[in-house]
């Protein structure tokens, strides 16, 4: 097998240079531990950015993928396939607010990524207004620092201008306001009455820096969208599938969205995205108006079914909430022990972040933690993000936090500016 260095060198010749990649190649994983091509062991505290819900080589997921591959991989959407129907049934059933209540969202559209799920939501909102004869209702309201994906539609909603630069996407039709600022939302809607087709919001801004919505924010957005005839679209790509300690992030506040977007943790590592919508919106995307070759294919949906089954049978919704508290407490201890480096901790469930002190780059900490054997990601430039598999053990969480603490100690020492800023 090739070494990290050999793989990185080959990559530099053939891969498009659009990613900033760490100089390691992950070769295998088991549970929440990973090994690189040189045999170094890591604790997985990022789960491929909130994707590997069940960790690595989970027996149930592995078997479901192997069984489905041995049966039929792909069918097209010109016919039905049973795993996709079963998955839709399971997903919509989880959208109910309390057990025994009717599901809020009743219809599923499957695609292959979070971006595609958001793109479907964009098209749904625009097309709904078009079918209602409301030709002026084409504007979206979204939030600064929001991340919704990188296709031309989803990119326009994304609230970080550096991602749009040079692409000519339709940001003119999107109003971005500060996350949590209900007055700004109200003013924006009142200033252009009848123009907004939807508000798009994350329950916790993930890429924007692991920032949970302030209490009451989603409920206010719900009532404002209802008053203004716009849809409330909740982007659950990062927060959904038990990541925040509930099946979906919106359930923390009991709001009723019109549509949600899912991806990341849904397939546990197999690419799949989904848009779930209310029954009334089922008529908007008519045959031919939207679709996907791979969307909902038997392999991806069988994998997602296995993920949902394991979440249920292993009690991972509750585990995400409880372990999230434990991780949050440990990270607050780490932050308190290194006040020159960290400003504090924030997050929900197993979506957590350590906020860096101004002038200290999260990436520097990420590199230090990796050399100690902990894999993390960075959200915005100021937050070190923790999104471990929902199956991670208490012992590994504690070990990872001790290693991050040790990594921070290497940066603490004679607090030179150059140490804190080096990548
Ligand atoms: C909230 C949110 N929406 C959409 C996306 C885009 O998802 P994908 O990268 O699967 O296209 C992401 C990815 O990070 C995300 O966090």
Average pLDDT estimate for 77-87: 97
Pair 378, 369: CB distance under 8 Å: no
The pLDDT value recorded for residue 97 is 81
Pair 176, 184: CB distance under 8 Å: no
Q: Which ligand 1 atom lies nearest to the CA of residue 205?
A: 1
Mutate to test the pocket of ligand 1, among 48, 110, 115, 119 (most ligand atoms within 8 A of CB): 115
Q: Which ligand 1 atom lies nearest to the CA of residue 239?
A: 1
**Average model confidence (pLDDT) for the chain?**
96
Nearest-angstrom CA–CA distance, 175 and 269 = 33
Ligand 1: centre distance to CA 417 (Å): 34
Q: Which ligand 1 atom lies nearest to the CA of residue 235?
A: 1
**Other Cβ atoms closer than 10 A to 69:** 12
Q: Which ligand 1 atom lies nearest to the CA of residue 202?
A: 1
Ligand 1: centre distance to CA 380 (Å): 14
DSSP labels for 196-261?
EEEEEE-SEETTTTSEEPPTTHHHHHHHHHHHHT-EEEEE-TTTTTTTTSSSSGGGGTT---SEEE
* pTM greater than 0.95 (yes/no): yes
Ligand 1: centre distance to CA 163 (Å): 13
Mutate to test the pocket of ligand 1, among 19, 157, 263, 265 (most ligand atoms within 8 A of CB): 263
Ligand 1: centre distance to CA 142 (Å): 15
The pLDDT value recorded for residue 415 is 47
Average pLDDT estimate for 40-62: 98
Band (pLDDT 50/70/90 cuts) for residue 419 is: very low
Write down the residue that tokens 């129907």 correspond to. Answer: 85
| Token code pair at residue 375 | 């894999």
Mutate to test the pocket of ligand 1, among 112, 149, 243, 250 (most ligand atoms within 8 A of CB): 149
Q: Whose CA is nearest to atom 4 of ligand 1?
A: 148
Mutate to test the pocket of ligand 1, among 48, 51, 112, 114 (most ligand atoms within 8 A of CB): 114
Ligand 1: centre distance to CA 262 (Å): 9
Q: Which fold has domain 72-313?
A: 3.40.640
Mutate to test the pocket of ligand 1, among 120, 147, 259 (most ligand atoms within 8 A of CB): 147
Domain boundaries, the chain: 4-58+315-421, 72-313
Q: Which ligand 1 atom lies nearest to the CA of residue 49?
A: 14
Q: Whose CA is nearest to atom 7 of ligand 1?
A: 114
Using a pLDDT cut of 90, give the percent of the chain over it: 95
Ligand 1: centre distance to CA 79 (Å): 29
Average pLDDT estimate for 248-253: 96
Tell which CATH classification among 3.90.1150.10, 1.10.10.10, 3.30.390.30, 3.30.70.20 matches the domain 4-58+315-421. Answer: 3.90.1150.10
Domains 4-58+315-421 and 72-313 share a fold: no
Burial class (CB in 10 A: 0-12, 13-18, 19+), 345: buried
Q: Which ligand 1 atom lies nearest to the CA of residue 113?
A: 10
| Token code pair at residue 348 | 């929900």
Ligand 1: centre distance to CA 214 (Å): 21
The pLDDT value recorded for residue 100 is 81
The pLDDT value recorded for residue 416 is 44
Ligand 1: centre distance to CA 351 (Å): 14
Ligand 1: centre distance to CA 179 (Å): 17
- 418 pLDDT more than 50: no
The pLDDT value recorded for residue 1 is 77
The pLDDT value recorded for residue 134 is 98
Measured between its terminal Cα atoms, the distance across the chain in Å is: 29
Q: Which ligand 1 atom lies nearest to the CA of residue 263?
A: 10
More confident residue, 98 or 268: 268
- 308 pLDDT more than 50: yes
- 422 pLDDT more than 50: no
- 187-213 residue pLDDT tens: 999 999 999 999 999 999 999 999 999
Measuring CA to CA, which residue among 203, 322, 237 is closest to residue 49? 237
Q: Check the CA dihedral 253-284-163-365 and report its sign.
A: positive
Question: What lines the ligand 1 site, CB under 6 Å?
Answer: 113-115, 118, 147-149, 202, 206-207, 235, 237-238, 263
Mutate to test the pocket of ligand 1, among 47, 119, 148 (most ligand atoms within 8 A of CB): 148
- 339-398 residue pLDDT tens: 999 999 999 999 999 999 999 999 999 999 999 999 999 999 899 999 999 999 999 999
- 142 pLDDT more than 80: yes
Number of alpha helices (DSSP H) and beta strands (DSSP E) in the chain: 14, 17
Pair 166, 150: CB distance under 8 Å: no
The pLDDT value recorded for residue 101 is 85
Comparing 30-44, 94-108, 286-300, 309-323, the range with the smallest average pLDDT is 94-108
The pLDDT value recorded for residue 194 is 97
Q: Whose CA is nearest to atom 3 of ligand 1?
A: 148
């Amino acid at each position: 097998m090739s070494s990290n260095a050999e793989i990185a060198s080959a990559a530099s010749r053939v891969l498009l240079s659009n990613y900033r990649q760490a100089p390691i190649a992950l070769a295998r994983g088991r549970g929440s531990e990973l090994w690189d091509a040189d045999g170094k062991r890591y604790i997985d505290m990022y789960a491929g950015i909130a994707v590997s819900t069940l960790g690595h080589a989970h027996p149930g997921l592995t078997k479901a993928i192997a069984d489905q591959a041995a049966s039929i991989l792909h069918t097209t959407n010109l016919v039905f396939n049973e795993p996709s129907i079963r998955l839709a049934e399971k997903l919509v059933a989880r959208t109910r607010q309390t057990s025994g209540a009717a599901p809020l969202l009743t219809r599923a559209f499957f695609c292959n990524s979070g971006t595609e799920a958001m793109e479907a939501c964009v098209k749904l909102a625009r097309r709904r207004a078009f079918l209602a004869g409301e030709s002026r209702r084409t504007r979206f309201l979204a939030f600064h620092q929001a991340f919704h994906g990188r296709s031309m539609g989803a990119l326009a909603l994304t609230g970080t201008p550096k991602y749009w630069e040079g692409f000519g996407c339709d940001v003119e039709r999107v109003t971005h306001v500060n996350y949590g600022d209900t007055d700004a939302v109200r003013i924006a809607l009142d200033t252009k009455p009848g123009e907004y087709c939807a508000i798009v919001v994350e329950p916790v801004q993930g890429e924007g820096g692991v920032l949970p919505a302030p209490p009451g924010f989603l409920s206010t957005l719900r009532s404002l969208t209802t008053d203004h005839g716009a849809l409330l679209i909740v982007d659950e790509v990062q927060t959904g599938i038990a990541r925040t300690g509930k099946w979906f992030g919106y359930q923390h506040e009991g709001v009723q969205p019109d549509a949600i977007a899912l991806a990341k943790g849904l397939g546990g590592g197999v690419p799949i995205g989904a848009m779930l919508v209310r029954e009334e919106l089922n008529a908007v995307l008519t045959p031919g108006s939207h679709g996907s070759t791979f969307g909902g294919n038997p392999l991806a949906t069988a994998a997602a079914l296995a993920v949902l089954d394991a979440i249920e049978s292993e009690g991972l919704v509750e585990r995400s909430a409880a372990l999230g508290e434990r991780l949050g407490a440990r990270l607050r201890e780490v932050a308190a022990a290194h006040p020159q480096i960290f400003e504090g901790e924030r997050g929900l469930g197993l979506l957590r972040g350590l906020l860096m002190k101004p002038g200290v780059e999260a990436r520097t900490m990420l590199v230090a933690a990796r050399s100690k054997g902990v894999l993390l990601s960075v959200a915005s430039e100021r937050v070190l993000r923790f999104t471990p598999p929902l199956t991670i053990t208490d012992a590994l969480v504690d070990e990872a936090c001790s290693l991050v603490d040790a990594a921070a100690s290497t940066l603490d020492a004679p607090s030179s500016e150059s140490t804190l800023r080096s990548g």
